[in-house]
Structure 1
Amino acid sequence: MLRSYWKSRHKRGPGAYALLLRLSAYLCLCACATRRGCAEELGDPKTVVHKDADFEVTYNDTVTSDIQTIYTFNHTVSRNKTEGVRVSVNVQSEQVENPILIVVRQKQAVLSFQVPLILRGLYQRKYPYAHVGRTLCQPQTRALSETQFFFVDVSTLSSQGVHYQLRVSRVDSFTLQTDKKFSFVATPSQPQYFKYVFPDGVDSVIVKVNSQMNFPCSVMSIQDILCPVYDLDNNVAFIGMYQTMTTTAAITVQRKDFPSNSFYVVIVVKTEDEACGGPLRFYPLRPDELIDAGNRSKVLDVVVSPAINSEVYVMGMLFCLGIFLSFYVLTFLVACIENKRLVEEFTLSCPKITLWAKKIGNPQSGFCIRSLQGCTLCAVLLHVSLCLLISERPLDSVGRCRQESLSSVEEDDYDTLADIDSDKNIVRTKKFLCVSDLARKDKRILSKKYQIYFCVLLTLRRNQDICYYNFLCAHPLGALSAFNNILSNLGYVMLGLLFLLIVLQRDIMHNRALLRNDLAALECGIPKHFGLYYAMGTALMMEGLLSACYHVCPNYTNFQFDTSFMYMIAGLCMLKLYQKRHPDINASAYTAYACLAAVIFFSVLGVVFGKDNTAFWIVFSIIHILATLLLSIQLYYMGRWRLDSGILRRMLYVIYTDCIRQCSGPMYIDRMVLLVMGNIVNWSLAAYGLIERPNDFASYLLAIAICNLLLYFAFYIIMKLRSNERIQFLALVCILFTAVVWGFALFFFFQGLSTWQKTPAESREHNRDCILLSFFDDHDIWHFLSSIAMFGSFLVLLTMDDDLDTVQRDKIYVF
């Protein structure tokens, strides 16, 4: 086009060539303009002023719409050394309608910005900055050393002269050194970034940025060595990894993620503080109104340190495995010691049994069973052959009993008690109940009933979202950002499996005793039902799995899923405590899990709607109090009451007869004491929630469950001692050991290394370095200790009534 235009003009005279050159120069100027385009008419080009400029010199000049100034700089670029170059521009005029346009043209890169720089905040609020400083991108060179030129073009569309100051300087310490702290100042219009090169032998580093100033809010970003560098508030999140920060930020960077073996550390100060939990500024009346940004400079320091190597990873994993495998070894040793003691007891009793066998002529007298009532399970196994030889009970009858126990009989198909309903009411309203009164249903039915707990338990799942880590001790492995927080959950799985093996062993021994018609198993001790124990062990394993999933990306939206099995464990423990003395009237699995599902449902509602929602807290508090009252009535009357239209009339009648007509105390004093204390605790917790409205609703619900569990457990222990029952040595050791471990576990839990109740930047203020093997932090130690404590708590529930294994059930009190 230009060539044909030149030919047509050349025929008319020699001035055509000059005009063509003039037009070409103007088109080149237009190519350097910004989004505003060329403001001049064709034929009215700007006057271009070229200036050779030097580093570290401040140029005071004036620019208008008719004059464009180009500053030419040159510097030596070395392949083995990177020097930062920074351009700073300051204007005195506050007009933003026609700002100064700065275009920096480099080899392989172009940077442009305007002064005053307009940065937008929340609700599109505008903040002008008259002083702008930008670091130039440094493209890599293949030559050992070469001289490169770059140009700084200054232009404006303002017809009036705009005075400005321009300074180009070299950045000291542009390349960060390992383990060497570097301090600097940054503002929203003067971001900073630095380069780091991985040294030989270092595959992972942790970049830490600290400040003594909480605000203004800042962003640390890790970006690859590419141009352009995204170093403004409105684009810093486009690429790479980034964190908002107040006082602390830390990111672990791995060499494999950066092909050039180097990366940029970018620091940007945000225009507003809402992202860091700061106050929300006044919203302007007009959307286009300019707001004074104020002084938003921030002093920071950055240090890059080598992260842990593969040997520390291996040591951490071996330590974790060793801790929990030791419990397997300890359990095996205890079993061997107990076995040895039982063999010695059997050896001492063997001559007497042989003598009795010779003297007794009637094999149906059951001498072998009665003589072994005080023996333990291992001794009983050694006597099986003798009992079978002198018993006339055929083996096929044993097989038939086993087949009958597997029959599909549902508890609700018929009343499994032999008594009529009125007799059932009479039995359960006795002033002093024994376990035999509440252990009359067929053991086959109850076993199937409690096995359902284990089956239904396996139906829960969970989710994940935005992440809150302890970034000062977050060791990545593959796609996992904090592998140490996931590995430390291994204890829940391993100890849950160990508990299941212990329960399985007891279950097998008990079933063998039942097949032999052992009177000690049939008529003595607390009825053995292991379904809830299996559910507890499985819940402990699932808690470990879900906690590990939660720590893949911990945040406020998925925390309630992590706590779901905590609710399950607390609920199952309370059910097991109640089942020990009330096997016939304990809640079914469907009812129990329906209640726990309601708790989890309220947990989700509380996380989503509970914060500062008065209506939600009123409704929840009312439901909490009503549920406590209904459960109290259920426990006090042993389930022998009906919720129907006549309940109010019956309540008024009881109040009239027992409180007004005659002042009589409660018939079941022990139960009344427990229920009064329980109501006081739960009503107090409901009032606290309604008044304080805690942000962490999931933990609030968990606190309610734990308080009720501890209250009931304390009541159980007190009543056990009050009933002249004793706690065996093994159970006592488990109780003391578990209490000590729980104390240390809670200490580490309340260290609070991160919290999703605040913004990510505020959460990072609580981050701390690793304290164990340079691999585990305080929260990992909480995982270790809490898994051990839960395992110990389960052992307490399993062994605390072993002293009753030789006591007739009609002599064991219900409480």
Structure 2
Amino acid sequence: MRVKAISTSDVCTVISVQPAKCPVYDQHRNVEFLGQFQTVTKQGAITVQKTNYPGGYFFVVVVVQPTDKDCLGKAVHLVPIQNMTSQFVLHSDKNRSKEITITVETILPLSEYWKPIVTTVAVLLSFYVITGFIILVQSKRKKAQDSENLEEQVRILGEEENRNSIPFAQNQTAGSSKYGTAGDVSGNSEMRSHPLSQIPEHEADLDEDDIDMLEDVNEEKEIYRTKTAICVGDLARKKPKTLDRKYKLYYWNILTIAVFYALPAVQLVMTYQAVLNMSGNEDMCYYNFLCAMPLGQISAFNNVFSNIGYVMLGILYLMIVWKKHHIHKQAMTSDSEKAKTCGIPKHFGMFYALGIALVMEGVLSASYHVCPNSSNYQFDTAFMYIIAGLGMLMLYQQRHPDVNANAYAAFATFAAVIFVAFLGVVFVSIYFYIAFAVLHVITCLAVSTQIYYMGTWKLDLGMFKRALIIIRTELCKCAKPVYIDRMIVLTVANAINWSMLGGSDVGFMEVVSGSASEWMTAGVCMD
């Protein structure tokens, strides 16, 4: 069952649920000694489990605190009694009171938990069924298409064989008309003595020595990077095996990060949950107490279970990627010219990394919801940054297969972003916001320059000097850029980034108050 407290006053109050026995702790200095308790202003709720109260009886204790510091999270200035004037004593609010309504209601029993659990899992499994059905239909369609192509090839080969056999029949007919002559014998014997393999080829065939193989095209990347119209095939210059090894580093790195990040996170939140159960202090965790559904030692099992969608859909995503990878390897093994030369070069390492990140987001978000508070908020958001970063890298890689970020540098960048977000939560101030805004603008400009010049612009300490020289000498050319399409896309992207950076200033005062969720919202908008 659940004990609910509702009031129209925001005076700080402690609600406590204690076993029905003496003594009853009903003073502000000892109300926290027994049972479950939490601070309440206008609304609160405590979930009571029968296992904690074997007799089925309990007391509900309401204590008005002398100050609001426990509810506000900050100290309230107290005036010593010897420094109080008589006027202050007369007009001070010595008698703090509060009207509060206490209701006790039943919640979903443990025996009924299976219904929402089975319904949720069934809905998620339906995606597996739909995906399997689509794969089965595509597989049958591919087999039918391969069978038709095979029949077509057999028919074409048969026609070619018939076509090639006609001249020999004509020669034999022509030779038979000279029956009984001397020329017939010599002609037939000459024709029989030369097999088809010794027939000379056409004189117009090219010699391989006359073909320029252009072996330096893989090295001279400046030639195609500066073209005004670039196709994906122009950018795919590196060997597929070399790129494949680089992209494999993504999912190996993220697996290592996931293990070393998740294990201490799970251990920490389970320790929090154990301390909460032993002490009864429900202010340790920021649950939605009106909706919390306990199970065993977990105070809000429904919040933890709600992250199963991340895990199951992440596993489904990995299965789809594996299926695509398997089909691609089969096509490459069969020496399919279409698989090797057509379309965007396929590398699946980053796709696997994204699927693993999605699964780990579910695991760490569930860990956060075991005992959500400001100290472990990063558990819920860390892999969100990684998913967003991998998504951007993947989109860029689809159009620029050779210009791929190093896996170590990419994850180091993600770590820096997470660290900046951590600083924003712990050390929130206007100075930090200004520094972050300047860093964000400089980063946008540097990345835009790198994308615009396709890697030919070096990002080092001398880039600012080179930028000033170009602005001073070639400012007139800005009205007509060489790469118009890239300039338009980058201008729009920077405009959106900077507008969000400025727009986040509207809610910045709320962010300064220390709310991690508000900072996360502002950070996502900036990104």
- Which interval holds the TM-score relative to the shorter structure? 0.7 to 0.9
Q: Which residue of 2 aligns with 1:162?
A: none
Q: Which amino acid aligns with 1:304?
A: V
The question of whether the paired residues in 1 share the 8 Å contact of 2:450 and 2:459 is answered with no
Q: Which residue of 2 aligns with 1:632?
A: 448
Task: Give the Cα–Cα distance (whole angstroms) in 2 for the partners of residues 507 and 298 of structure 1.
Answer: 65
| Residue of 35, 40, 46 corresponding to 1:251 | 46
| Residue of 430, 450, 454 corresponding to 2:227 | 430
Give the match's secondary structure for 2:470.
Answer: helix
| Residue of 355, 380, 388 corresponding to 1:570 | 388
**How far is the alpha carbon of 1:282 from its aligned partner?**
4.8
Task: Give the Cα–Cα distance (whole angstroms) in 2 for the partners of residues 436 and 491 of structure 1.
Answer: 38
The question of whether the paired residues in 1 share the 8 Å contact of 2:218 and 2:238 is answered with no
Give the match's secondary structure for 1:551.
Answer: helix
**How far is the alpha carbon of 1:315 from its aligned partner?**
0.4
Task: Give the Cα–Cα distance (whole angstroms) in 2 for the partners of residues 552 and 287 of structure 1.
Answer: 47
Give the match's secondary structure for 2:30.
Answer: coil
Task: Give the Cα–Cα distance (whole angstroms) in 2 for the partners of residues 472 and 281 of structure 1.
Answer: 29
Q: 1:440 to 1:684 in 2, by over 3 A?
A: same
Q: Which residue of 2 aligns with 1:261?
A: 56
Give the match's secondary structure for 1:210.
Answer: strand
| Residue of 135, 138, 145 corresponding to 1:335 | 135
Task: Give the Cα–Cα distance (whole angstroms) in 2 for the partners of residues 434 and 698 of structure 1.
Answer: 43
| Residue of 642, 665, 675 corresponding to 2:490 | 675
Q: 1:548 to 1:680 in 2, by over 3 A?
A: same
- 1:94-149 CA-to-partner distances (Å, cap 9, x unmatched) read xxxxxxxxxxxxxxxxxxxxxxxxxxxxxxxxxxxxxxxxxxxxxxxxxxxxxxxx
| Residue of 388, 396, 405 corresponding to 1:587 | 405
| Residue of 224, 232, 243 corresponding to 1:446 | 243
Q: Which residue of 1 aligns with 2:203?
A: none
**How far is the alpha carbon of 1:568 from its aligned partner?**
0.8
Q: Which amino acid aligns with 1:253?
A: V
Give the match's secondary structure for 1:539.
Answer: helix
**Equivalent residue runs for 1:21-32 within 5 Å:** none
**How far is the alpha carbon of 1:321 from its aligned partner?**
1.0
The question of whether the paired residues in 2 share the 8 Å contact of 1:606 and 1:698 is answered with no
Task: Give the Cα–Cα distance (whole angstroms) in 1 for the partners of residues 298 and 493 of structure 2.
Answer: 43
| Residue of 283, 291, 300 corresponding to 1:482 | 300
Q: 1:563 to 1:509 in 2, by over 3 A?
A: same
The question of whether the paired residues in 1 share the 8 Å contact of 2:374 and 2:516 is answered with no
Q: Please, which runs of 5 or more residues in structure 1 have no aligned partner?
A: 1-204, 362-416, 709-815
Task: Give the Cα–Cα distance (whole angstroms) in 2 for the partners of residues 307 and 644 of structure 1.
Answer: 62
Further displaced range: 573-582 or 269-278: 269-278
Q: Which amino acid aligns with 2:459?
A: L
Task: Give the Cα–Cα distance (whole angstroms) in 1 for the partners of residues 482 and 473 of structure 2.
Answer: 13
**How far is the alpha carbon of 1:691 from its aligned partner?**
6.3
Q: Which amino acid aligns with 1:626?
A: I
Give the match's secondary structure for 2:15.
Answer: strand
Task: Give the Cα–Cα distance (whole angstroms) in 2 for the partners of residues 251 and 522 of structure 1.
Answer: 63
Q: Which residue of 2 aligns with 1:310?
A: 110
Structure with the largest fraction of helix: 2
The question of whether the paired residues in 1 share the 8 Å contact of 2:504 and 2:522 is answered with no
Structure with the largest fraction of strand: 1
Task: Give the Cα–Cα distance (whole angstroms) in 2 for the partners of residues 236 and 447 of structure 1.
Answer: 63
**Equivalent residue runs for 1:119-518 within 5 Å:** 205-213=1-9, 215-277=10-72, 282-284=77-79, 289=84, 292-359=92-159, 418-419=216-217, 423-458=220-255, 459=257, 460-461=261-262, 462=265, 463-464=268-269, 466-518=284-336
Task: Give the Cα–Cα distance (whole angstroms) in 2 for the partners of residues 419 and 248 of structure 1.
Answer: 71
Give the match's secondary structure for 1:284.
Answer: coil
Q: Which residue of 1 aligns with 2:458?
A: 642
The question of whether the paired residues in 1 share the 8 Å contact of 2:501 and 2:526 is answered with no
**How far is the alpha carbon of 1:645 from its aligned partner?**
5.3
Q: Which amino acid aligns with 2:7?
A: S
**How far is the alpha carbon of 1:259 from its aligned partner?**
3.1
Q: 1:532 to 1:221 in 2, by over 3 A?
A: same
Is 1:525 the counterpart of 2:350 in the alignment?
A: no
TM-score (norm 2): 0.79
Give the match's secondary structure for 1:265.
Answer: strand
Task: Give the Cα–Cα distance (whole angstroms) in 2 for the partners of residues 450 and 702 of structure 1.
Answer: 31
**How far is the alpha carbon of 1:684 from its aligned partner?**
2.6
Task: Give the Cα–Cα distance (whole angstroms) in 1 for the partners of residues 66 and 393 of structure 2.
Answer: 55
Is 1:605 the counterpart of 2:423 in the alignment?
A: yes
- 1:708-737 CA-to-partner distances (Å, cap 9, x unmatched) read 5xxxxxxxxxxxxxxxxxxxxxxxxxxxxx
**How far is the alpha carbon of 1:703 from its aligned partner?**
5.5
Q: 1:683 to 1:505 in 2, by over 3 A?
A: same
Q: 1:472 to 1:238 in 2, by over 3 A?
A: same
Q: 1:293 to 1:280 in 2, by over 3 A?
A: farther
**How far is the alpha carbon of 1:305 from its aligned partner?**
1.5
Give the match's secondary structure for 1:638.
Answer: coil
Task: Give the Cα–Cα distance (whole angstroms) in 1 for the partners of residues 381 and 101 of structure 2.
Answer: 38
**Equivalent residue runs for 1:89-128 within 5 Å:** none
Task: Give the Cα–Cα distance (whole angstroms) in 2 for the partners of residues 592 and 360 of structure 1.
Answer: 56
Q: Which amino acid aligns with 2:2?
A: I
**How far is the alpha carbon of 1:607 from its aligned partner?**
0.8
Q: 1:226 to 1:360 in 2, by over 3 A?
A: farther
**How far is the alpha carbon of 1:678 from its aligned partner?**
1.9
Give the match's secondary structure for 1:471.
Answer: coil
Give the match's secondary structure for 1:568.
Answer: helix
The question of whether the paired residues in 2 share the 8 Å contact of 1:685 and 1:704 is answered with no
The question of whether the paired residues in 2 share the 8 Å contact of 1:566 and 1:702 is answered with no
Q: Which amino acid aligns with 2:475?
A: C
**How far is the alpha carbon of 1:482 from its aligned partner?**
0.5
Q: 1:644 to 1:500 in 2, by over 3 A?
A: closer
Task: Give the Cα–Cα distance (whole angstroms) in 2 for the partners of residues 287 and 557 of structure 1.
Answer: 40
The question of whether the paired residues in 2 share the 8 Å contact of 1:453 and 1:535 is answered with yes
Q: 1:656 to 1:443 in 2, by over 3 A?
A: same
The question of whether the paired residues in 2 share the 8 Å contact of 1:563 and 1:702 is answered with no
Q: 1:486 to 1:697 in 2, by over 3 A?
A: closer
Give the match's secondary structure for 1:484.
Answer: helix
Q: 1:443 to 1:701 in 2, by over 3 A?
A: farther
**How far is the alpha carbon of 1:235 from its aligned partner?**
1.2
Whose radius of gyration is greater, 1 or 2?
Answer: 1
The question of whether the paired residues in 1 share the 8 Å contact of 2:389 and 2:414 is answered with yes
**How far is the alpha carbon of 1:704 from its aligned partner?**
5.0
| Residue of 467, 481, 485 corresponding to 1:666 | 481
Q: 1:420 to 1:329 in 2, by over 3 A?
A: closer
Task: Give the Cα–Cα distance (whole angstroms) in 2 for the partners of residues 663 and 321 of structure 1.
Answer: 56
Task: Give the Cα–Cα distance (whole angstroms) in 2 for the partners of residues 628 and 601 of structure 1.
Answer: 18
Q: Which residue of 1 aligns with 2:467?
A: 651
The question of whether the paired residues in 1 share the 8 Å contact of 2:377 and 2:516 is answered with no
Give the match's secondary structure for 2:481.
Answer: coil
**How far is the alpha carbon of 1:705 from its aligned partner?**
4.7
Task: Give the Cα–Cα distance (whole angstroms) in 1 for the partners of residues 146 and 82 of structure 2.
Answer: 91
The question of whether the paired residues in 1 share the 8 Å contact of 2:424 and 2:519 is answered with no
Q: Please, which runs of 5 or more residues in structure 2 have no aligned partner?
A: 162-214, 273-283
TM-score (norm 1): 0.52
Give the match's secondary structure for 2:474.
Answer: helix
